[in-house]
A and B are shown apart, each in its own frame.
Chain A
Amino acid sequence: MILKRKLRYILVETSRDFDAADRRAIGELESALMGFMGEHQYADANFRVATMCGGNTFIASVNRGAERSVLLSLSFVRRLGNRDIGIYTIRTSGTMRKLLSECKKLYGG
């Protein structure tokens, strides 16, 4: 039997460059989120950066049902490392394909 994981995808834009390939940057974002959500909720949400769309845009995946708390927590993140940052959630969707096409439309990439 194939067990299908139901995920929601969030298109996220940051006010400054954010390199999702950089483990340190991801670590800082994850620990900021964990601070807001608490370990228990954070583990339930299973937040992952799925793919980058550009220098300051990425798609994050979360477990279905946890998107609201992730969205709220992302809104509260105002600093990563020593730099101020703004994190905007642009769209949420059930499929990555939809967000990738949205990404092309918005950023022309």
Chain B
Amino acid sequence: MVAMPEGVDQKLARRLGYKRVLIVGKDVALLNAGNDTKKTVIYAKNMDAVARHVKSRDVVGFIFDDSSIIRKALEEIHENGKLVVLPLSQIMQHDQRARLRGIGRMRRLLKTALRYRAQVAVVSLAQNKDQMLSRMQLSALASYLGANDEQSKAMLQKIGDVV
């Protein structure tokens, strides 16, 4: 899943190992990104956002900023078959300190999500061509954050399966 309004070069996507690339605003909407008939991923800043949208049929998953929210929300997310979406663009920053903070936060999120047996999807959420990652890289990054090989492969499929 990428956030590139100009779209993706399909040949490049094939080389990177993807059958399909989901584009934010076209295939998937982020909350407040427009059309509500699309499948939507919600940026959940607090519990209210989860409670409000978790039962919606169009919502496929949630992006979290904080692992303390996730504990409270996971039960509901799990019951309703929604995904916990990890955007790896957050750990791909130039600034070393920001990157390390992001990695720590993402590891905690993933650990908590896996402990509660939530379904997790990793996406690049690339905003331009430079931020794109191949399937192999996404899988390696998921393993680096704490998933085992089997889990990391499954995490690549999840969002494509539901959208």
Q: A11's closest neighbor in chain B, by CB?
A: B15
- Asked whether any CB of chain B lies closer than 8 Å to the CB of A48, the reply is no
- Asked whether any CB of chain A lies closer than 8 Å to the CB of B6, the reply is no
Inter-chain CB contacts under 8 Å: number: 51
Neighbour of A71 across the interface among B16, B17, B136, CB < 8 A: B136
Contacts A13-B15, A72-B144; A90 near B134 (Cβ below 8 A):
yes
Q: How far is the CB of B13 from chain A (nearest CB, A)?
A: 11
Interface of B, secondary structure class, is helix
In the complex, the answer to whether A75 meets B130 with C-beta atoms within 8 Å is no
Interface size of A in residues (CB-CB distance below 8 Å): 20
Question: Could you say which interface size class chain B belongs to?
Answer: 10 to 19
Binding site for A on B (CB under 8 A): 15-17, 92-94, 99, 129-134, 136-137, 140-141, 143-144
Binding site for B on A (CB under 8 A): 13, 15-16, 68, 71-72, 74-76, 78-79, 84-86, 88-92, 106
